[in-house]
């Protein structure tokens, strides 16, 4: 009789333990589904200043899914411009080049971008004018641009080249957890009096 009672108790315990997780999972979204996670991130983005409050209402699984979706894993270098080409001496022409670094998460969400653009005119020998602009685009919630951490300029007007190097700091911070990730992208560009241009980026 004792063994029967013990087995009965164990059977009831096993049923209780086995049933509990199924009840808990029934109300929890499927965070293994990228579409579900992207929708959650979009909802947080729409929350604006209330994103931290919305975050606080998520389950531990939801918070982990959002963190994984918004933590940067891939940096992509981008470049575009216009009209840069070699010209004969004493022929004036103008062009622009922009180089950027954009960060994406594992599920393909663009998190932010860091860019540097140089507009310059040249006469085949020297740079006759130049304008440089640095810009930032932050798209995902909990990411922010802190500051430019580095700056270097060489050459310039009436010289054969103009070089501009910049570095910035981005951080991913959630109020309840502090800052989880920091990224320091840099961009290095050189434009020349003969119309050519080069650019690279890294972190």
Give the Cα separation of 185 and 103 in Å (integer).
10
The pLDDT value recorded for residue 28 is 75
Residue 186 sits in the same domain as residue 89: yes
Residue 77 sits in the same domain as residue 149: yes
pLDDT digit string (tens) for the chain, length 203 residues? 444 343 343 343 344 434 444 333 457 777 777 777 777 777 777 777 777 777 777 877 877 777 777 887 778 888 888 765 666 666 789 999 999 999 998 888 899 999 999 999 999 999 999 999 999 999 988 899 999 999 999 999 999 999 999 999 999 998 767 898 999 999 999 999 999 999 999 88
Residue 9 sits in the same domain as residue 88: no
The pLDDT value recorded for residue 67 is 78
Domain that holds residue 20: 2-69
Residue 90 sits in the same domain as residue 186: yes
The pLDDT value recorded for residue 54 is 76
Residue 59 sits in the same domain as residue 90: no
Among 53, 69, 85, the domain-final residue is 69
The pLDDT value recorded for residue 84 is 59
Sign of the CA dihedral with 13 first, then 28, 65, and 57 last: negative
The pLDDT value recorded for residue 77 is 86
Residue 102 sits in the same domain as residue 173: yes
Give the Cα separation of 121 and 189 in Å (integer).
15
Residue 176 sits in the same domain as residue 100: yes
The pLDDT value recorded for residue 129 is 96
Nearest to 190 by CA among 168, 159, 164: 164
The total domain count for the chain is 2
Question: What would the two tokens of residue 169 be?
Answer: 């700091």
Nearest to 174 by CA among 36, 73, 58: 58
Residue 51 sits in the same domain as residue 91: no
The pLDDT value recorded for residue 29 is 77
Question: What would the two tokens of residue 134 be?
Answer: 């640095």
The pLDDT value recorded for residue 137 is 95
Residue 63 sits in the same domain as residue 162: no
């Amino acid at each position: 009789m004792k063994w029967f009672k013990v087995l009965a108790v164990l059977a009831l315990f096993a049923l209780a333990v086995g049933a509990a997780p199924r009840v808990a999972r029934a109300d929890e979204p499927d965070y293994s589904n990228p579409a579900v996670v992207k929708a959650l991130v979009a909802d947080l983005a729409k929350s604006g200043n209330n994103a931290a409050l919305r975050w606080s209402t998520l389950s531990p699984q939801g918070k982990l899914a959002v963190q994984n979706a918004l933590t940067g894993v891939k940096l992509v270098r981008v470049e575009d411009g216009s009209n840069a080409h070699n010209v004969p001496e004493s022929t004036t022409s103008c062009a622009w080049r922009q180089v950027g670094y954009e960060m994406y998460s594992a599920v393909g969400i663009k998190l932010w971008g860091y860019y540097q653009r140089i507009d310059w005119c040249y006469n085949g020998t020297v740079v006759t004018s130049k304008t440089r602009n640095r810009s930032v685009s932050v798209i995902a919630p909990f990411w922010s641009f802190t500051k430019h951490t580095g700056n270097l300029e060489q050459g310039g007007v009436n010289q054969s080249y103009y070089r501009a190097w910049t570095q910035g700091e981005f951080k991913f911070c959630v109020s309840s957890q502090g800052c989880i990730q920091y990224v320091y992208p840099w961009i290095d560009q050189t434009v020349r009096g003969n119309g050519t241009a080069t650019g690279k980026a890294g972190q």
